Amino acid sequence: MDLFFQQLINGLSLGSLYALIAVGYTVVYGIVQLINFAHGEIFMIGAFGSFATWTVMGSPTDWPATGSLLILLPVMILGGMAASISVALLTERFAYRPLRNAPRLAPLISAIGVSVFLQEFVRLFYGRIPGLPDAKSSIPFPAINGITGEIIQIGGVTIQMSAVFTVGALAVSTAFLWFFVNRTRTGRAMIATSQDPDTARLMGINVDRVIMAAFAVGAALAAIAGVAHGLTNGNIGFRMGFLAGLKAFTAAVLGGIGNINGAVVGGLVLGVAEAMATSFIPGQLGSSAWKDVWAFVLLILVLVFRPQGLLGAKVVDRA
Amino acid sequence: MNKRTFKLAGVAILASTLALAGCGARTDAGTGGATGTKVAKIGVIAPLSGDLSAMGLGIKNSVDLAIKQANASNAIPGWKLELAAEDDQATPDVGKNAATKLASDDAVVGIVGTLNSGVAQSTIPVLDAAKIVQVSPANTNPSLTKGADYLTAPKRSNANYFRTCTTDDVQGPFAAQYLLGTGVKKVATIHDKTPYGQGLVTEFAKAFTAGGGTVVGAETINPDDDNFSAVVSKVKAVAPEAIYYGGVYSEAGPLSKQAKAAGLKVPLMGGDGIYDGNFMKLGGTDGDLATSVGAPVETLASAKAFLDGYKAGGYTDGYSAYGAYAYDAANSIIAALKTSLASAADAKSARAGTITAMSSVAFEGATGKVAFDQYGDSVSRVLTVYKVSGGAWKAEKTGELK
């Protein structure tokens, strides 16, 4: 039974990470029907941005836990967000906006190009920035006192503080996102645009601004995920966005692409399914080698029996 | 140097010994005068430029040293040995061209190289067709000597290929013996699904079980994964006393770190793929272990003459990881040449005889006993266990696989 709860914790932690990234896919898709394949790289940029922020602060390692949690970590997250939001807005402006009215395939290819560009850019040029380490191989992420290496032991279940941070970050982000979408003018403009951009424009909504807001929100959450990834895994690397992005995209489809709550649910379901498949499918098929297989079998089953995703895609009727 | 690049490129230093002194040779040699000597070349094929050049130059210099010493002692009466070195840039295509070029030189009787196993795969057939012996100081891929089915049906594929280093397939058993020797009876294995990682784990598990230990868990990870928590939890549940990991340092470091963070505080052991300084940078901690082929050269009494000679030779580059093996490789070719060149009219006609003579070569070299088994592998199967201590790899135990 301990193993069950242990894998549940692992799965929720991993799933929260997927969910934080998946929101970025789903928000952008909901508004411009673009699958932004460069979003995994935005997540990676967020992690590298927070690392750079930490370096600018003098690479502190000896701050007491309270100072680390109340000042260092939030500043690092803000630094990561600044990096990821700027890059997301730049890609939107230069790689997607010129293709706004082009056939759907064009922005998709453009997104793949941006993804390759950002990976190579970080690989080749991150180390050229004075004071920053070379990013051609993985970089150890800084330890934050109060999180790194700290654990909570409940019976036989070990809960790492980094997992608590990741799940907590998802909870706070989701609450914030709900408020933003449902209770602010920009949020309601986003809903209106996703339902019908032409009519929204007639109602006086600045659609370009709404699209930028969607990219910015996704990038902000991706930066939080980047920090969580660094804290959980201890390393960041220029390739980290590829697989994480793919899994997060899967999570978004699983939950119903375009649906924010669906992205969160899809991420958690995918993470837990992977962790559980590692331990609880008997025999040869249950080894860790098969965890991705089971995760994608789950995706196929959901798409066969519920093509709109677990919570339904809110915007599928449009086109 | 980056161990992964090294591995991926397939570590085979082709130290080819070029022996003949082509254009510079005294053309009237052999026809007149008591001073007349014929020229034979020993070639070197190794990365002399690029990321791996430190090791390649170490190989080239060590071969050069062996040749100079042989000439000084007039090891082969009537013959003068020369070096012909070619750069393979750690790339199979370039290596193949280098091998073709050396094979077309009639004075070449043997090659020392390559560094990378992948490059060796392209040079061996070229040199085999020309009946030129190739002795590698660094290729660790078992299939080069024993064929693709080296585990089940070992079969020698090319008669011209020999090596002075140990291979990957003895690392696993050596690690198993070491762990059993330290009292570890329960081990969980994890590998990264690559042929290298899987091969290490298969051989390890076989030897560990045969030695009385139990493999309590067998897991895998994806080479691209960053988060290993699910696997770590599963492994933790079976309470192993150590983890044996088949793969390279880029996953092994984070895996070790995440295992310890999750409360699985047992040593992680791997092969030469994790024996790299980056392993500690990425999360490898004190107590983690790795095997690597050969012995640390500085500790060997037999290597003292080589080290002194290398120092006296005034080479600007260090002998690097495989210098002593390249020195032994060159000397094994020279030993075979003593037989084959004695009766040969010219260097080219001695090529086939040199390959035949290799199998009876036996002497005490810098790295220990140098001789080859029926597959062309070194009979010496010396390995070293390294342990992370104070954030650096320290030699823990050097021994021979029994």
Residues B146 and B175 placed together within one structural domain of the fold: no
**Tell me, what's the pLDDT at B17?**
33
What's the pLDDT tens digit per position in B115-129? 888 899 899 999 999
Query: Position B161: which residue type?
Result: Y
Residue A217 has pLDDT above 80, yes or no: yes
pLDDT level of residue A166 (50, 70, 90 thresholds): very high
Instruction: Check if B2 contacts A (Cβ < 8 Å).
Output: yes
| Chain B, nearest residue to A292 by Cα | B222
pLDDT for res A38: 95
Give the model's pLDDT for residue B26: 39
Measured distance CA(A84)–CA(B280) in Å, rounded: 29
More confident residue, B185 or B249: B185
Give the lowest-confidence range in B55-69, B215-229, B233-247: B215-229
- Cα dihedral A268, A273, A274, A277, rounded to 10, equals 160
With CA atoms as reference, the chain B residue closest to A2 would be: B237
Tell me the chain A residues in contact with residue B219 when contact means C-beta distances shorter than 8 Å: 287-289
Structure tokens at A258: 């375009």
Helix axis angle, A105-125 relative to A240-255, nearest 10°?
150
At residue A318 the predicted structure's pLDDT band, cuts being 50, 70 and 90, is: very low
Residue-wise pLDDT tens digits, B379-401: 888 889 999 999 889 998 888 87
Same domain for B46 and B149? yes
pTM above 0.90, yes or no: no
Give the pLDDT of residue B19: 36
B325 within domain boundaries: yes
Give the C-alpha separation, B103 to B94, whole Å. 14
User: DSSP string covering A19-59, please?
Assistant: HHHHHHHHHHHHHH----TTHHHHHHHHHHHHHHHHHHTT-
The CA distance from B155 to the nearest CA of chain A, in Å, is 31
Model confidence band, residue B232 (pLDDT cutoffs 50, 70, 90): very high
Burial of A241 (0-12, 13-18, 19+ CB in 10 A): buried
Would B156 be classed as within a structural domain?
yes
B198 and B289, same domain (yes or no): yes
Token pair of B94 as six digits: 């370039």
Of A29, A60, A43, the closest CA to residue A228 belongs to A43
Least confident residue range of A29-33, A94-98, A264-268, B326-330: A29-33
In three-state secondary structure terms, B109 is strand
pLDDT at residue B174 above 50? yes
Q: B200 with B245, same domain? A: yes
Residue B51: its pLDDT value, please?
A: 67
Q: Which CATH number do you get for residue B288?
A: 3.40.50.2300
The whole-number pLDDT of residue B296 equals 82
- The per-residue pLDDT for B402 is 67
Tell me which residue in B221, B231, B263 faces A158 most closely, judged by beta carbons. B263
Q: Are B32 and B103 members of one domain?
A: yes
Mean per-residue pLDDT for A32-60?
94
Residue range B39-63, pLDDT digits in tens: 999 999 999 887 678 888 999 999 9
Q: Over chain B, what is the mean pLDDT?
A: 85
Q: List strand residue ranges (DSSP E) for B72-207, in order.
A: 79-87, 108-116, 133-136, 161-163, 186-191
Give pLDDT, residue A110.
Answer: 95
- According to DSSP, the residues that pair with B34 across neighbouring strands are none
Q: Are B118 and B195 within one domain?
A: no
How much is the mean pLDDT over chain A?
90
User: What one-character-per-residue DSSP string does A70-125 give?
Assistant: IIIHHHHHHHHHHHHHHHHHHHIIIIIGGGTTS-THHHHHHHHHHHHHHHHHHHHH
More confident residue, A299 or A220: A220
B31: pLDDT strictly greater than 70: no
A193 with A200: CB under 8 angstroms? yes
3-state secondary structure of B50: coil
Q: What is the pLDDT of residue B53?
A: 80
The answer to whether residue B376 sits within a structural domain is no
pLDDT of B224: 75
SS3 state of residue B187? strand
Neighbouring C-beta atoms of residue A154, cutoff 10 Å: 11
Contact B76, B32 (CB under 8 A): no
* pLDDT classification of A1: cutoffs 50, 70, 90: confident
- Tell whether B205 and B253 lie within a shared domain: yes
Q: Which of A68, A247, A81, A90 is nearest to A165 (CA)?
A: A68
Q: How many residues are present in chain A?
A: 319
Residue of A nearest to B250 (CA): A138
pLDDT of residue B9: 43
**B11 and B149 in a common domain:** yes
Q: Is B377 part of any domain?
A: no
Whether B233 sits inside 8 A of A3 (CB atoms) is yes
- Which residues on adjacent β-strands are paired with residue B135? B112, B162
> Cα separations (Å) of B213 from A40, A111, B205, B217, B289?
43, 52, 9, 12, 18
**Overall number of domains in chain B:** 2
Supply the pLDDT for residue B3: 47
N- to C-terminal Cα separation, chain B: 31
CB B160 within 8 A of CB B127: yes
Residue B367 or A211, more confident: A211
Query: With contact defined as beta carbons under 8 Å apart, do B58 and B98 qualify?
Result: no
Q: Are residues B152 and B72 in the same domain?
A: yes
Helix residue spans in B341-399 (DSSP H): 351-358
Residue B205 has pLDDT above 90, yes or no: yes
Residues B45 and B147 in one domain: yes
Which strand (E) or helix (H) includes residue B275? none
Give helix A39-56 / helix A207-233 axis angle, nearest 10°.
60
pLDDT tens, residue by residue, B128-169: 999 999 999 988 888 889 888 877 788 888 899 999 988 878
The torsion angles phi and psi of A108, rounded to 5 degrees, stand at: -65, -45
Do both B278 and B326 map to the same domain? no
Instruction: Note whether residue B390 is domain-resident.
Output: yes
Token code pair at residue B372: 């080859």
Within-domain flag for B298: no
Considering the domain boundaries, does residue B133 fall inside one? Answer: yes
Secondary element (H or E) of residue A244: helix A240-255
Q: Is residue B199 part of a domain?
A: yes
pLDDT higher for B37 or A26?
Answer: A26
Same domain, B396 and B262: yes
8 A C-beta contact, residue B299 and residue B277: no
Q: pLDDT by residue (tens digit) across A52-83?
A: 999 999 888 888 888 888 999 999 999 999 99
Predicted complex ipTM: 0.77
**How far apart are the two ends of chain A, measured CA to CA in Å?**
48
Domain that includes residue B124, residue range: 3-166+303-371
Angle at A218 between CA A214 and CA A224, to 5 degrees: 150
Of B230, B257, B262, nearest to A288 by CB-CB distance is B230
Under 8 Å between Cβ of B45 and B114: yes
Two structure tokens written together for A13: 């932690």
**Distance of alpha carbon A254 from alpha carbon A265, whole angstroms:** 8
Using pLDDT thresholds of 50, 70 and 90, give the confidence band for residue A314: low
Query: Residues in chain A whose beta carbon is closer than 8 A to a beta carbon of chain B?
Result: 2-3, 6-7, 10-11, 13-14, 17, 137-138, 140, 149, 151, 153, 158, 160, 162-163, 229, 232-235, 237, 239-240, 242-244, 274-275, 278-279, 287-289, 291-292
